[in-house]
């Protein structure tokens, strides 16, 4: 028998539970967040939390999936809107890097993903945050390569090089000032354009 759609009241309760769990995971971390605390914050019974998510790990996976999907949507939009064939490669690549920094790294979605990646049980969770951002970037770089803006080659490796020159360098330095992060992006994009630009 196919799954029945949730009633509007159940949809509201599920959303309230996800919001409350997200807030508790961010505030208290995975280990110190209890199902009781999530239920109280959502204004539902503990049984209702279990009915929707089975257990704390199921709740963790649902919160992670929601945040990860939002982050990947941000990456997908930024790649398509900034890395265009009608735009200078350096300008577009720098705009892309800056947009990812502000739209993802500084977002609460990124914070909750990092929290849950370090401590939660994410078995079987989709999407795959480990490789999907680079696959999105590789796909857009292939479009630029076909337009003659980027040297043809292995698109995935090209995307990995872009990430290493920009995001990985920035993320490996905790508490980086915005101006210092931007300097890394400028230098990284310049190196990328020298290596891959036509």
Candidate from 5-9, 21-25, 39-43 with smallest mean pLDDT: 5-9
Q: Specify if 144 maps to a domain.
A: yes
Q: Which domain holds residue 147?
A: 68-196
Name the least confident of 41-50, 120-129, 185-194.
Answer: 120-129
Taking residues 5-28, report their average pLDDT. Answer: 89
Residue 120 and residue 167 share a domain: yes
Question: 86 and 49 in one domain?
Answer: no
pLDDT, tens digit, for every residue of 131-175?
A: 899 999 999 999 999 999 999 788 999 999 999 999 999 888 878
Instruction: Note whether 92 and 83 are within 8 A (CB).
Output: yes
Which pLDDT value is given to residue 6? 65
- Give the integer Cα–Cα distance in Å for 170 and 124: 29
CATH number at residue 115: 1.10.357.10
Regarding whether 156 and 118 lie in a shared domain, the answer is yes
Residue 88 and residue 135 in one domain = yes
Assess if residue 1 is contained within a domain: no
| Peptide bond just before 24 cis, omega within 30 deg | no
- pLDDT of 120 higher than 80: no
Whether the per-residue pLDDT at 5 is higher than 70: the answer is: no
Is residue 4 over pLDDT 70? no
Residues 106, 183 share a domain: yes
The span from the CA of 60 to the CA of 55, in Å, is 9
Residue 34: inside a domain, yes or no? yes
Domain count, the chain: 2
Q: Residue 61: inside a domain, yes or no? A: no
101 pLDDT above the threshold of 60: yes
- Tens digits of per-residue pLDDT, 62-87? 999 999 999 999 999 999 999 999 99
């Amino acid at each position: 028998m196919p799954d029945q759609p949730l009633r509007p009241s159940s949809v509201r309760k599920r959303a309230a539970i996800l919001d409350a769990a997200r807030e508790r995971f961010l505030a208290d971390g995975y280990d110190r967040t209890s199902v009781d605390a999530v239920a109280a914050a959502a204004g539902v019974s503990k049984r209702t939390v279990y009915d929707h998510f089975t257990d704390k790990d199921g709740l963790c996976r649902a919160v992670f999936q929601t945040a990860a999907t939002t982050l990947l949507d941000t990456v997908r939009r930024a790649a398509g809107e900034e890395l265009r064939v009608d735009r200078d490669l350096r300008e577009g690549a720098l705009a892309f890097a800056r947009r990812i920094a502000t739209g993802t790294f500084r977002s609460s979605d990124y914070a909750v993903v990092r929290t849950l990646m370090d401590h939660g049980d994410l078995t079987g969770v989709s999407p795959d945050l480990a490789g999907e951002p680079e696959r999105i970037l590789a796909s857009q770089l292939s479009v630029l390569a076909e337009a003659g803006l980027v040297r043809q080659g292995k698109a995935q490796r090209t995307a990995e090089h872009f990430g290493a020159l920009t995001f990985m360098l920035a993320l490996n330095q905790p508490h980086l000032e915005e101006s210092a992060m931007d300097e890394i992006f400028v230098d990284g994009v310049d190196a990328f354009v020298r290596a891959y630009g036509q």
